[in-house]
Amino acid sequence: MNLIYAALAFLMALVFGFVGVTRVGSWLIERRNPPIGEFADIDGARIHYVHVPAPANAELPPIVFIHGASANLRDQMLPLRPLLEGRAEMLFFDRPGHGWSGRGTNNENPSAQANTIAALMDHLGIKKAVIVGHSFGGVVTSAFGREHPDKTLGLVFLAPATHPWPGGATAWYYDLTTMPVLGWLFSETLTYPAGTLQMADATTCVFSPNKVPDNYLSSVSIPLVLRPTAFRANATDVAGLYRYALAT
């Protein structure tokens, strides 16, 4: 019996140790990657965004950029803002639960996130825009076009995730993270240390066969996704994508 108690005590100490490592790691990530934009309360979700106004003689219509899984507004803003600033009004934002945006209570699928984007556009006085979606942002872009045609000037898809794929499989850790209790425990203990060790290799795989841009991970603040709440939001998005694509 004493051995059982000792094993349980060791297990609990290990869990609390990993929780502590994750909390400290998340704090360091946030210190190194502070918000760079403004915030708006959109239907209970605190959304972080960068709004770039257009000059009076803008040659292009307003453009709204929707980033993909595991990312945040910097992923599109850093390469594209320098090319378009002074030519168009631009809106970059962290999707609900990603980067510095709160998840809120009603952003669990692409349609709900499209509604949040439409409300953010209303908040900023953007009546219509070209919507640009990358990767997972593609399915949100598609939902936006269907549900808010009055706000849509055009849709641009960059390597979009919009259709069902054979088998519908996703990485095991996304499915695990969406499980009740066990998923919460996993995200609060192991995603930060394990994700930190695997992030460089995973990024190389994503960009393959191309080279990962210099300083990509740090400049785009990708480690923000390793915080437990962000990881759970990202896992919910990715794990639910196949079912959503089938249904729509």
- Domains, the chain: 2-247 (3.40.50.1820)
In this predicted model, what pLDDT tens digit does every residue of 25-41 receive, in sequence order? 999 999 999 999 999 99
Instruction: Determine if the pTM surpasses 0.75.
Output: yes
- Residue 227 clears pLDDT 90, i.e. is over it: yes
Report the pLDDT value the prediction gives residue 1, as an integer from 0 to 100. Answer: 60
Long-range contacts of 92-95 (CB under 8 A, 24+ apart): 92/37, 92/49, 92/50, 92/52, 92/65, 92/67, 93/37, 93/47, 93/48, 93/49, 93/50, 93/65, 93/117, 93/120, 94/47, 94/48, 94/49, 94/67, 95/66, 95/67, 95/137, 95/140, 95/237
In this predicted model, what pLDDT tens digit does every residue of 131-145 receive, in sequence order? 999 999 999 999 999
